[in-house]
C-alpha cells in the first residue's frame, strides 16, 4: 500500500513538472530604465458634425528604405510619431484633463501648467553623418555602402542595429550639420535621395529634465517624460490634441524631441484624412486604398528614427499626421473596414510609395529613385479604355437649347412672323404651367416689347417692383435707351437679373436669346426641372448618377434629346461619358426629356480632377541659377538639356551647363527640386522676350514623384466603381493583400 501511494505521488509530481506553465509577460524593450506608464486604451470617438475640412492630398512622401523581419502577432502595435525635434522647452496646459505624468520611474504631480526643459549637466558635441538606407539584407547593405563611397568620395559603412534588426547604411564624417547637409545636396545630383543627417558620438552627461509648475522647478533624472491621459482619449500639446500618450525625449544634442505614442490603427486616423481629405475625396474605396497603403508604409518603416526616440515623422518626409483635429467619420470607416490589412510582395511588406497626382501615368521606381528597383513599383497607366454612350434622337449639330425648346414648345406650322411664332410658343408655355392664355398681343420682337409682354403675361410686374431697389436698377442697367420709361427700365433689370431676358437693351432679340428665354421661363414656371449630376454608369437601359451625395438610377427613355459640349456651345450629339463627367438632366414631370454633357478637357485619366492634372511654370534664368547654386555651390547656371525619360515620359536625367564649362548630371526626383517644378512629367521651351528676362516655360502634368499609388487617381477609380483591392493591385504590380503580423515593436506581413 505504501509503495502504491509513493507511486501515485511520483506520478502527480511528474504531471506537474511536465504540464503547462504560466510565464510572466515579457516587459517590452524601451529607452528608459522603467518604461513610462501605459495610457488607457482610447475610447472610440463618435462621428462629429463639426469636423474641420482636411486639406486635399498634395504631397509626395520620399522613400525610406526600411525592411522589417517577419514576426508574429502578440498585441496591438504601438508607433512613436515624431512631432517636433530639438525643442528648448515643451509646455502642457493646465486643468483640461487629468494627466498621469512620470519621468522614467519618478511620478510627477500635476496641479498646474507644466513646462519641461533640458537639465543635463553637460552636452558633448559629436559629429554628423548621412543615413541613406536601412536594409534587411547584409550583402545588399554592404554593396550599397561601397557604391556610395564611389559616388560620394566619403567613407561608407553598413552596421547592424539590434534595436530594429536592420543594417543601417551611413556615409561621411562631418564636423557640422551644415557640412553634412551640403554633401547631401551634392549627393542628390547622383540620385541619392531620401538621405537625412544623423548625429553620432554626441552624449549628455547626467541626463535630466527640469519641470516647472507655477513658481516651483524640480529636476528629475532621466531622458524620458511620459504624459498619459486619465479617463480621457487624448492629450493637448502645442495647440493640438493627440490620442495615446505624449513622450518628451532628451536627445543626445541636449534638446527635446516631442513624440506621440499610440496604436497604429489610431495613428492612421490622423494620417488618412491628412493625406486624402474625405470632404473633397469622398469615395470610401479610395480612402480604404489610402488606409492600406499608409498602414503598409508605417509598418515597413518602423524604427527608422529610433536613435531620435521615435519610429516615423509627422511630415511629408514620411506621412502627414494631424492628430485628432483632422479625424473624419468616412476615413475612420475606411481604416476600420481594412483593419490590419497590408500589401505584400512574395510575403514581405512592400515599400508602399504614393503621390498626389500622376498625370495619367505612373513611373518605374528606378527612374525617380535610381538606387531602388522594387519590381512592384512599375509604371502603369492611370486610366482605362472605353466610354459609356447614350444615343439621343436628334440629328447631329443642333444647338442647345433650341433643339430642346423647339421640341418642348414647337413653333406653329407653316410660315409665321417672328412675333407671331413667339406668341404662340409663350401661350403654349402658359398652358403647360396651368396659367390662363395671355390676352394681350405681342407687337414685335423688339426687346422692350418682349419684356413688357412677358412681364404682363406671366404676372411678373409686382415681382419687379418688390424685389428691385432703384440702386439695383441703375447698377444692372447702366446705359438704357433714352426713350425707355422708368417702368421699362425696371422690367428690363428684373428680367435680366432673373435670367429670363438678357442681352444688349438697345437691340432686338436674336433667335438664340429667344430660345434661352423660353427655357428660363419654363424652369421658372416649373414646366421643366433641371438636375445637375455626375455620371457613374449605364446598364440595361438605365443610367446611374450622383445627385448631391445620393446615387440615383433612372430609366433612359426613347425620344431623349442629348447635347454635348463642343467648343463654346452645346450641340446635339451622342453622350460619350466616363464616371465623374458632369451632366445636366432636364425633367418634364417625372419624365427625363433632355440631357447635356460637359466634357473634361483634361481627358479621361483617373486623376483628371486634380488641379495639377495640367500645369505651366515659367522660371527665369536667374531663378534657375539660384536653385542650382543652392544645391551645387559654385556651379553657376547657363542652360540645361534633357538626357533621358521614363516610360511615362517623366524626365529621368538632365545635364546642367554651368560656368567655366562645368557640367552636372542630375537624376530622378532631384530633377524636380533642381528646376522647382511640380513634377518631372514636363516639356521645356526656351523663351527670350525682348522686354523681360529670358527663361524656360515648363508645361507638365502631375504633382509629386509619380511612383506607386496615385492618390487622386485612386479617387477617380473609386468613382468609376473599382474596389480598394482593384485600386491597390492596379498601382502596385504583383502584390497581394495580407494581414500585418508583429511581435514586440517590429512589424511584417503574412498571407491572408
Q: Residues 622, 697: one domain?
A: yes
Q: Strand, helix or coil at 66?
A: strand
What sign results for the dihedral spanned by CA atoms 28, 30, 35, 39?
A: negative
Residue 343: strand, helix, or coil: strand
| Nearest one of 709, 707, 683 to 697, comparing CA atoms | 683
- At 20 the pLDDT is 37
Per-residue pLDDT tens digits for 482-527: 999 999 999 999 999 999 998 888 888 899 999 999 999 999 999 9
- Residue 635 has phi, psi (to 5 degrees) of -70, -40
- By mean pLDDT, which of 203-207, 410-414, 595-599 is the weakest? 203-207
Q: What's residue 189's pLDDT? A: 73
For the chain, first and last CA: distance in Å?
Answer: 58
The pLDDT tens digits for 683-698 are 999 999 888 999 999 9
Q: Report yes or no on 625 lying in a domain.
A: yes
Judge whether 570 lies within some domain.
yes
Tell whether 575 and 647 lie within a shared domain: no
How far, in whole angstroms, is CA 687 from its chain's centroid? Answer: 34
> Are residues 528 and 635 both part of a single domain?
no
Helix H or strand E segment including 247: strand 245-250
Q: Dihedrals φ, ψ of 678, to 5°?
A: -65, -30
* CA gap 100, 244 in Å, rounded: 12
Kindly report the CATH number assigned to the domain that includes residue 192: 3.30.70.1070
For strand 681-687 and strand 695-701, is the pairing parallel, antiparallel, or unpaired? antiparallel
Res. 750 pLDDT band, cuts 50 70 90 = low
Per-residue pLDDT tens digits for 289-329: 999 999 999 999 998 888 889 999 898 888 999 999 999 99
Same domain membership, residue 628 and residue 569: no
Residue 74 pLDDT grade (very low, low, confident, very high; cuts 50, 70, 90) = low
- Residue 695 falls within a domain, yes or no? yes
Structural domain contains residue 494? no
Q: Regarding predicted confidence, which is higher, 17 or 424?
A: 424
Q: What is the pLDDT of residues 572-596, one digit of tens each?
A: 999 999 888 999 999 999 999 999 9
Model confidence at 626: pLDDT above 90: no
Q: Is the dihedral of CA 596, 601, 603, 609 positive or negative?
A: negative
Instruction: With a cut of 90, say whether residue 85 has pLDDT above it.
Output: no
Residue finishing a domain among 662, 679, 701 = 701
Q: What is the pLDDT of residue 673?
A: 87
Q: What's the average model confidence in pLDDT over 86-102? A: 87
- The whole-angstrom distance between residue 598's C-alpha and the CA centroid of its chain comes to 25
**pLDDT-based confidence at 632, cuts 50/70/90?**
confident
Task: State phi, psi for 342 to the nearest 5 degrees.
Answer: -135, 170
567 found inside a domain: yes
C-alpha 657/C-alpha 686 separation (Å) is 15
193: Cα within 13 Å, side-chain hemisphere: 24
- As a three-state string, the secondary structure of 637-697 is CCEEEEEEECCCCCEEEEEEECHHHCEEEEECCHHHHHHCCCCCEEEEEEECCCCCCCEEE
Q: Is the pLDDT of residue 262 over 70?
A: yes
Q: What is the mean pLDDT of residues 529-553?
A: 92
Same domain, 550 and 689: no
Q: What's the pLDDT at 743?
A: 52
Shared-domain flag, residues 686 and 558 = no
CB 427 within 8 A of CB 437: yes
Q: Kindly state whether residues 565 and 669 are assigned to the same domain.
A: no
Q: Do 130 and 181 belong to one domain?
A: yes
Residue 149 lies in a domain: yes
pTM for the whole thing? Answer: 0.73
Whose CA is closest to 216, among 120, 115, 121? 115
Query: In whole angstroms, what is the distance from residue 439 CA to residue 427 CA?
Result: 9
Contact 550, 533 (CB under 8 A): no
Higher pLDDT, 34 or 612: 612
Beta bridge partners of 596: 563, 584
Contact predicate 134/351, CB 8 Å:
no
Q: For the chain, what is the total number of helices (H) and then of strands (E)?
A: 18, 40
Percent of the chain at pLDDT exceeding 90: 53
Please state, in angstroms and rounded to a whole number, the distance separating the CA atoms of residues 383 and 727.
11
Query: Mean pLDDT throughout 262-266?
Result: 96
Expressed in percent and rounded to 5, the helix, strand and coil fractions of the chain are: 25, 30, 45
Write out the three cell numbers for 217: 522647478
> Domain range for residue 591?
387-445+509-601
Check whether 267 has a pLDDT greater than 60: yes
Print the SS3 string covering 589-646.
CCEEEEEEEECCCCCCCCCCCCCCCCEEEEEEHHHHHHHHHHHCCCCCCCEEEEEEEC
Residue that is last in its domain, among 201, 230, 253: 201
Question: Alpha-carbon distance 348 to 738, whole Å?
Answer: 10
pLDDT at residue 2 tops 60: no
For residue 717, give the DSSP letter. Answer: H
Share of the chain above pLDDT 70, in %: 87
In which residue are the cell numbers 563611397 written? 149
The average confidence (pLDDT) of the chain is 85
Is the model's pLDDT at 4 over the cut of 50? no
- pLDDT for 68 equals 38
Q: For 521, how many CA atoms within 13 A lie in the half-sphere containing its CB?
A: 32
How many Å apart are CA 435 and CA 548, to the nearest integer?
A: 32
Domain boundary (149, 180, 201) is at: 201
In a domain, 501, yes or no: no
Classify residue 342 as exposed, middle or buried by CB count within 10 Å of its CB (0-12, 13-18, 19+).
buried
Tell me phi and psi for residue 100, to 5 degrees.
Answer: -100, 110
Residues 550 and 425 in one domain: yes
User: What gap in Å lies between CA 134 and CA 90, rounded to an integer?
Assistant: 31
3-state secondary structure of 304: coil
Nearest to 131 by CA among 381, 403, 342, 317: 317
Mind giving me the DSSP string for 138-192?
HHHHHHHHHHHHHHHSS-EEEEEETTTTEEEEEEEEESSHHHHHHHHHHHHTTT-
Same domain flag for 535 and 622: no
Most confident among 10-14, 124-128, 185-189, 367-371 (mean pLDDT): 367-371
Query: Distance between CA atoms of 532 and 519, rounded to whole angstroms?
Result: 16
Q: How far is CA 317 from CA 62, 79, 195, 196, 206, in A?
A: 6, 16, 10, 10, 33
> Which pLDDT score is estimated for 361?
95
CB 711 within 8 A of CB 272: no
Could you give the count of Cα atoms lying within 13 Å of 317 in the half-sphere of its Cβ? 14
Residue 325 forms part of a structural domain? no
Most confident of 22-31, 47-56, 383-392: 383-392
Query: Do residues 648 and 362 touch, judged by C-beta distance below 8 A?
Result: yes
How far is the C-alpha of 132 from the C-alpha of 135, rounded, in Å?
A: 10
Rg value, the chain, Cα: 35
Residues 6+ apart with CB under 8 A from 672: 678, 679, 680, 705
Pick from 55-59, 83-87, 667-671: least confident: 55-59
- Distance CA(161)–CA(137), nearest Å, equals 12
Q: Are residues 539 and 671 in the same domain?
A: no
Spatial separation of the C-alpha atoms in residues 313 and 84, rounded to whole Å: 8
Q: CA-CA distance, 562 to 347, in Å (whole number)? A: 52
Section 21-40 average pLDDT: 33
- Other CB atoms within 10 Å distance of the CB of residue 700: 22
Contacts 24+ apart (CB under 8 A), 212-218: 212/114, 212/115, 212/117, 213/109, 213/110, 213/111, 213/112, 213/113, 213/114, 213/115, 214/112, 214/113, 218/108
121-132 pLDDT, tens digit each: 766 677 889 888
Q: By CB neighbour count within 10 A (0-12 exposed, 13-18 middle, 19+ buried), where does 386 fall?
A: exposed
Residue range 620-631: mean pLDDT, rounded: 88
Residues 397 and 533 in one domain: yes
Cα distance between residue 495 and residue 502, in whole Å: 7
Task: Name the phi and psi angles at 461, rounded to 5.
Answer: -65, -45
Q: Which residue has the cell 486616423?
A: 269
Q: Is 218 exposed, middle or buried (0-12, 13-18, 19+ CB in 10 A)?
A: middle
Q: How many domains does the chain have?
A: 3
Candidates 204, 293, 257; CA nearest to 90 is 257
Instruction: Report whether 538 contacts 556 (CB < 8 A).
Output: yes
Amino acid at each position: 500500500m505504501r509503495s502504491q501511494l509513493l507511486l501515485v505521488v511520483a506520478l502527480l509530481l511528474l504531471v506537474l513538472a511536465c504540464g503547462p506553465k504560466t510565464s510572466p509577460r515579457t516587459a517590452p524593450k524601451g529607452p528608459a530604465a522603467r518604461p513610462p506608464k501605459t495610457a488607457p486604451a482610447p475610447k472610440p470617438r463618435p462621428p462629429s458634425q463639426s469636423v474641420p475640412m482636411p486639406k486635399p492630398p498634395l504631397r509626395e512622401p520620399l522613400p525610406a528604405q526600411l525592411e522589417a523581419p517577419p514576426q508574429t502577432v502578440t498585441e496591438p502595435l504601438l508607433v512613436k510619431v515624431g512631432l517636433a525635434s530639438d525643442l528648448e522647452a515643451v509646455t502642457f496646459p493646465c486643468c483640461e484633463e487629468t494627466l498621469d505624468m512620470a519621468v522614467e520611474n519618478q511620478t510627477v504631480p500635476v496641479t498646474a501648467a507644466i513646462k519641461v526643459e533640458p537639465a543635463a549637466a553637460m552636452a558633448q558635441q559629436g559629429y554628423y553623418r548621412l543615413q541613406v538606407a536601412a536594409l534587411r539584407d547584409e550583402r545588399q547593405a554592404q554593396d550599397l555602402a561601397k557604391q556610395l563611397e564611389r559616388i560620394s568620395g566619403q567613407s561608407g559603412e553598413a552596421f547592424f542595429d539590434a534595436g530594429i534588426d536592420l543594417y543601417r547604411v551611413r556615409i561621411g564624417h562631418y564636423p557640422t550639420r551644415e557640412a553634412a547637409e551640403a554633401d547631401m545636396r551634392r549627393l542628390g545630383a547622383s540620385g541619392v535621395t531620401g538621405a537625412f543627417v544623423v548625429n553620432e558620438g554626441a552624449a549628455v552627461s547626467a541626463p535630466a529634465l527640469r519641470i516647472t509648475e507655477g513658481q516651483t522647478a524640480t529636476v528629475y533624472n532621466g531622458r524620458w517624460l511620459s504624459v498619459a491621459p486619465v479617463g480621457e482619449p487624448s492629450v493637448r500639446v502645442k495647440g493640438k490634441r493627440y490620442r495615446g500618450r505624449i513622450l518628451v525625449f532628451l536627445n543626445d544634442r541636449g534638446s527635446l524631441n516631442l513624440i506621440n505614442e499610440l496604436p497604429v490603427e489610431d495613428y492612421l486616423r490622423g494620417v488618412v484624412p491628412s493625406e486624402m481629405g474625405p470632404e473633397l475625396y469622398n469615395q470610401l474605396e479610395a480612402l480604404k486604398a489610402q488606409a492600406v497603403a499608409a498602414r503598409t508604409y508605417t509598418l515597413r518603416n518602423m524604427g527608422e528614427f529610433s536613435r531620435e526616440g521615435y519610429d516615423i515623422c509627422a511630415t511629408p518626409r514620411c506621412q502627414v499626421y494631424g492628430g485628432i483635429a483632422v479625424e473624419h467619420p468616412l476615413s475612420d470607416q475606411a481604416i476600420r473596414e481594412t483593419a490590419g490589412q497590408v500589401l505584400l510582395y512574395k510575403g514581405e511588406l512592400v515599400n508602399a510609395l504614393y503621390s498626389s497626382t500622376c498625370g495619367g501615368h505612373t513611373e518605374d521606381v528606378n527612374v525617380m529613385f535610381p538606387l531602388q528597383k522594387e519590381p512592384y513599383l512599375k509604371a502603369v497607366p492611370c486610366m482605362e479604355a472605353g466610354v459609356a454612350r447614350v444615343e439621343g434622337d436628334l440629328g447631329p449639330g443642333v444647338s442647345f437649347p433650341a433643339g430642346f425648346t423647339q421640341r418642348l414648345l414647337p413653333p406653329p406650322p407653316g410660315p409665321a412672323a417672328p412675333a407671331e411664332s413667339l406668341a404662340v410658343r409663350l401661350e403654349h408655355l402658359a398652358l403647360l404651367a396651368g396659367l390662363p392664355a395671355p390676352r394681350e398681343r405681342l407687337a414685335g420682337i423688339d426687346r422692350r416689347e418682349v419684356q413688357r409682354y412677358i412681364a404682363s403675361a406671366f404676372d411678373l410686374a409686382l415681382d419687379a417692383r418688390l424685389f428691385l431697389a432703384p440702386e439695383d436698377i441703375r447698377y444692372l442697367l447702366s446705359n438704357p435707351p433714352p426713350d425707355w420709361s422708368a417702368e421699362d427700365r425696371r422690367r428690363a433689370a428684373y428680367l435680366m437679373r432673373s435670367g429670363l431676358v438678357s442681352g444688349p437693351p438697345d437691340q432686338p432679340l436674336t433667335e438664340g436669346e429667344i430660345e434661352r428665354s423660353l427655357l428660363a421661363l419654363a424652369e421658372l414656371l416649373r414646366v421643366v426641372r433641371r438636375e445637375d449630376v455626375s455620371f457613374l454608369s449605364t446598364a440595361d437601359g438605365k443610367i446611374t448618377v450622383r445627385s448631391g451625395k445620393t446615387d440615383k438610377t433612372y430609366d433612359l427613355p426613347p425620344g431623349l434629346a442629348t447635347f454635348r459640349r463642343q467648343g463654346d456651345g452645346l450641340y446635339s450629339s451622342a453622350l460619350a461619358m466616363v464616371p465623374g463627367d458632369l451632366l445636366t438632366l432636364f425633367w418634364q414631370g417625372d419624365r427625363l426629356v433632355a440631357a447635356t454633357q460637359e466634357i473634361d478637357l483634361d481627358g479621361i485619366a483617373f486623376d483628371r480632377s486634380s488641379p495639377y492634372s495640367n500645369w505651366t511654370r515659367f522660371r527665369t534664368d536667374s531663378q534657375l541659377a539660384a536653385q542650382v547654386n543652392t544645391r551645387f555651390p559654385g556651379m553657376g547656371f547657363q542652360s540645361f538639356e534633357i538626357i533621358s525619360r521614363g516610360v511615362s515620359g517623366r524626365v529621368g536625367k538632365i545635364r546642367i551647363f554651368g560656368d567655366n564649362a562645368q557640367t552636372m548630371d542630375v537624376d530622378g526626383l532631384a530633377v524636380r527640386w533642381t528646376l522647382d517644378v511640380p513634377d518631372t512629367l514636363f516639356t521645356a521651351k526656351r523663351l527670350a522676350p525682348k522686354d523681360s528676362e529670358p527663361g524656360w516655360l515648363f508645361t507638365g502634368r502631375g504633382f509629386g514623384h509619380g511612383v506607386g499609388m496615385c492618390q487622386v487617381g485612386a479617387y477617380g477609380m473609386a468613382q468609376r466603381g473599382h474596389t480598394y483591392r482593384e485600386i491597390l493591385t492596379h498601382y502596385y504590380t504583383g502584390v497581394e493583400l495580407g494581414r500585418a503580423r508583429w511581435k514586440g515593436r517590429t512589424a511584417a506581413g503574412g498571407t491572408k
